[in-house]
Amino acid sequence: MKRLAIPETGNLARGASARSPRRWVGPIAVLLVSALIATACGGDDAAATTTAAPTTTGTGGGLPVVYTGADGVESTITDAGRIVTLSGEFTEIVFALGLGGNVVGVDLSSVYPEEAADLPKVGVERLLLAEPIIAQNPTVVLGDVDATPVEVIDQVRQTGIPVVIFPRYEGVDAPATKIREVARVLGIPETGEELAASVQEEIDAVVAATAAVEERPPAAVVYLANRGSTILMLGDNTVMEGLLEAAGAIDVAPAAGADGMMPLTPEALAGGAPDYIITTDRGIDATGGLEGFLEIPGVGETPAAAAGNILVFEDLYLLGLGPRTGQLLRDLATAFHPDLTIP
């Protein structure tokens, strides 16, 4: 399985862009206390420094673009020379589109690619501040409906900076759609089309290969944002919708009544008896390693635990729905069906 080391800042990062709207409130309250202590001891951070004049490299010929966001606000993007992203999934897409050099600020969830993790941090979703974003002097800001408080987004817009608010995308078609939309906003629709097509091709290959599979193991995606936060099962109406099916498994969440993110109950897991449990690095870290993870009520009693079928992925890789989703599906399909040949 693909496992990437998560930098320090990853602990505060954004998780699944799933439906449950307030999933960050608890963990962040806890983490803020540690952030406070860390800051009190640590001193200055680099995020607050103002950077140099705008660069103009990579500004596509497709600009200006007018985009009406999920918040109903129309933004006109005239320059993609200085990009700030408010969510790791957009950071990843911008880098995959070849505009990584134009990114001047990222949110705390931007842990991939590695270059992005070194960029100035402008905040964390739901607790955004306007000034750190504005201080990077961006020409365009990319976020989704979780980029709140909305007043802060308004404040950034008042300084003349366009802020693009994308909707939540879900399911196997989401990566291509998202890539196309981000590329269009940045004025490089052709590059976006190419990347989207290649990602879709990878996804389709897995879907085609698993279509004929008859024995579909039950599987569950278990997500834990931070130590002490609610353990969630991701079902329909989350980023995971349809992904397990595409990889040749049966998602036990819908049968257990999960719509969106559902707090995990031992009954739900035991009832579904998943052969595979899929989770993220951060969840494993938050429970103090695999042993701790298996001690979560209900998890240890599953066939998945007995067979050692706990699949661990980096958070953005599993939940980011982006350029790497084809690879993710391939990983999953190969784990579910070791004998399956995927072209």
Partner 1 sequence: MTTAPPASPQAATAGPAASRRMGRAPLVALLGVMLLAAIVVSLGVGAVQISPAAVVGIILDHLGIDSGIEFTARQDAVLWSIRLPRVMLGVVVGAGLAVAGAALQGIFRNPLADPQLIGVSSGAALGSAGAIALAGGSLGLLAGPIGGFVGGMAAGLAVYALARHEGRTEVVTLILAGIAVAAIGGAGAGMLSFVVDDPAIRTALFWSLGSLSVATWKLWWVTLPFVLAGLVVLPMFARALNLTLLGEREAQHLGVDVERVRMVVLAVAVLTVGATVAAAGVIGFIGLLVPHGVRLAAGPDHRVVLPASAVGGAALVVLADLAARTMASPIDVPVGLLTAVVGGPLFLWLLRRTRREHGGWG
Binding site for partner 1 (CB under 8 A): 12, 21-22, 25, 28-29, 32-33, 35-36, 39-40, 45, 47-48, 50, 108, 121-124, 126-135, 137, 148-152, 154-155, 158-160
Give 232's contacts (C-beta < 8 A, 6+ positions apart).
Answer: 20, 23, 222, 223, 224, 225, 261, 262, 263, 264
Query: Measured from the CB of residue 229, what is the shortest distance to partner 1 in angstroms?
Result: 13
Identity of the residue, 47 or 205, whose beta carbon is nearer to partner 1 in the bound complex = 47
Identity of the residue, 152 or 239, whose beta carbon is nearer to partner 1 in the bound complex = 152
Closest-CA residue to 239 (of 337, 328, 113, 302) = 328
Q: Where are the alpha helices (DSSP H) in 100-226?
A: 114-117, 130-135, 150-158, 174-185, 189-211
Amino acid at 216: R
Amino acid at 251: D
Query: Measured from the CB of residue 44, what is the shortest distance to partner 1 in angstroms?
Result: 10
Residue 303 preceded by cis peptide, ω within 30: no
Identity of the residue, 127 or 270, whose beta carbon is nearer to partner 1 in the bound complex = 127
Report how far residue 287's alpha carbon sits from residue 228's, in angstroms, rounded to the nearest whole number. Answer: 8
Identity of the residue, 123 or 175, whose beta carbon is nearer to partner 1 in the bound complex = 123
Query: Measured from the CB of residue 130, what is the shortest distance to partner 1 in angstroms?
Result: 5
Identity of the residue, 43 or 61, whose beta carbon is nearer to partner 1 in the bound complex = 43
Q: Give 261: exposed, middle or buried? Use CB within 10 Å, 0-12, 13-18, 19+.
A: buried
Identity of the residue, 124 or 196, whose beta carbon is nearer to partner 1 in the bound complex = 124
Query: Measured from the CB of residue 42, what is the shortest distance to partner 1 in angstroms?
Result: 10
Q: Which two tokens stand for residue 289?
A: 């390693």
Kind of pairing between the strands at 65-68 and 74-77: antiparallel
Report how far residue 220's alpha carbon sits from residue 312's, in angstroms, rounded to the nearest whole number. Answer: 12
The answer to whether 195 touches 178, Cβ cutoff 8 Å, is: no
Sequence length of the chain is 343
Query: Measured from the CB of residue 105, what is the shortest distance to partner 1 in angstroms?
Result: 9
Identity of the residue, 133 or 225, whose beta carbon is nearer to partner 1 in the bound complex = 133
Identity of the residue, 123 or 323, whose beta carbon is nearer to partner 1 in the bound complex = 123
Identity of the residue, 86 or 246, whose beta carbon is nearer to partner 1 in the bound complex = 86
Query: Measured from the CB of residue 222, what is the shortest distance to partner 1 in angstroms?
Result: 20
Amino acid at 156: V
Query: Measured from the CB of residue 111, what is the shortest distance to partner 1 in angstroms?
Result: 16
Residue 158 CB coordination number (10 Å): 10
The answer to whether 178 touches 321, Cβ cutoff 8 Å, is: yes
Query: Measured from the CB of residue 71, what is the shortest distance to partner 1 in angstroms?
Result: 9
Query: Measured from the CB of residue 125, what is the shortest distance to partner 1 in angstroms?
Result: 11
Residue 153 CB coordination number (10 Å): 22
Closest-CA residue to 99 (of 83, 76, 115) = 83
